[in-house]
Amino acid sequence: MILLSAPNIAGNEWAYIKDCLDSGWVSSVGSYVTRFEKAVAEYTGARFGVACVNGTNALHMALMLRNVQAGDLVIVPNITFIASVNAIKYCGANPVLIDVDANTWQMDENLLRRFLEEDCFISDEGKTIHRSSGKTVAAIMPVHVLGNMGNIEEICSIAHRYQLAVVEDSTESLGSFYNGKHSGTFGEIGCFSFNGNKIITTGGGGMIVTNDEAIAKKAKHLTTQAKSDPFEYIHDDVGYNYRMVNLLAAMGLAQMEQLPAFIETKKKINNCYRRELTGVGDIRFQEILANADVNHWLFTFSTSERQPLLDKLNESGIQCRPFWKPMNQLPMFATDIYISASDVSGGVYRNCISIPSSTFLTPENLETIVGAIKKHFHSIA
């Protein structure tokens, strides 16, 4: 099986993890946690990093840190992995689902602007209120889908105009930049994931990054059960057991050392697929904006042959997946607000297929994948 997006364990992972085992520092206290936090923060250009159990926990904590309350509304794209919207629900808030741009598959900023201008107003207290429900729109969560980046500067500008907190779901976009600035550093807080399929992995893990020292300190405090005394078991808030352990951070540090090479490989895979599949059938690629320099985490394309192609490729040992089902089509979010002009999300879901993008793919693997796709389209021509 040629795997979709598997981890590449090729550096100091064994040595660093062995160091944890030899020293006994295997839990949430240990030098690798701090070193990993520093490495991610420095790479992204953020002042602070706080490691978490996973990306979903990071998103949940980030929303709490921006004072999202029960009953609030949080704006999020309709095409995203479910963790984004689950984190909103964990706060007792509800999503406002914004349809995506037909080319980039990122949040459509024109629909975002229309929703805020036409469906909301700013109260005397400076809060943005949704007219029909009377609920406060507290935050916006842009998601850098597939590691790509839409016009995040314009989204942040709109958010600032309406005094909305910005929590970036950058879980897939470590190594992605817009106008030279790293994803996750445009809003007040950014969140990354290190799940096994991400560009670097700790097996499971996440990271909050921020330039605000007060936010970083509170994040670290709340993710470690809000323990306020170094000796006594005294806690001054409702805390969470969201802290990453030293073993996973050791793996993450080793992976960070290889990140530039991983990104270079992802770009080569992207270039190969685009070169070889251009003009094949009705295949259409995700648009990358001129201002964006992205990590090309998971290569995904659109075609009306999605299901037959998925079936054939998987049957032949090439692991491929459909795209995420739009959030408004899931039963638990079906009654939430969905802002759309033509349901682009539905079309993206019906037509998109993700193909192998692991950083250890060989030229022979790529030739096999491309050949199988071309063979399918030739057979139906």
pLDDT digits over 216-241, tens only? 999 999 999 999 998 999 999 999 99
Q: What's the whole-number mean pLDDT along residues 171-181?
A: 98
How would residue 66 be classed by pLDDT, with cut points 50, 70 and 90?
Answer: very high
For the cut 90, the answer to whether the pLDDT of residue 116 exceeds it is yes
Q: What confidence score (pLDDT) does residue 28 get?
A: 85
pLDDT, tens digit, for every residue of 344-362? 999 999 999 999 999 999 9
pLDDT reported for residue 197 = 96
The pLDDT of residue 249 is: 98
Show the domains of the chain with their CATH numbers. Answer: 13-256 (3.40.640.10), 258-380 (3.90.1150.10)
pLDDT at 291: 96
With cut-offs at 50, 70 and 90, classify the pLDDT of residue 74: very high
Does the structure show a pLDDT above 90 at 381?
A: no
The mean pLDDT of 310-330, rounded to a whole number, is: 98
Per-residue confidence band for 50, with pLDDT thresholds at 50, 70 and 90: very high
The pLDDT of residue 29 is above 90: no
- Of 343, 269, 352, nearest to 309 by C-alpha is 352
User: Mean pLDDT across the chain, nearest whole number?
Assistant: 97
Q: What are 238-279's pLDDT values in tens digits?
A: 999 999 999 999 999 999 999 999 999 999 999 999 999 999
**pTM score:** 0.97
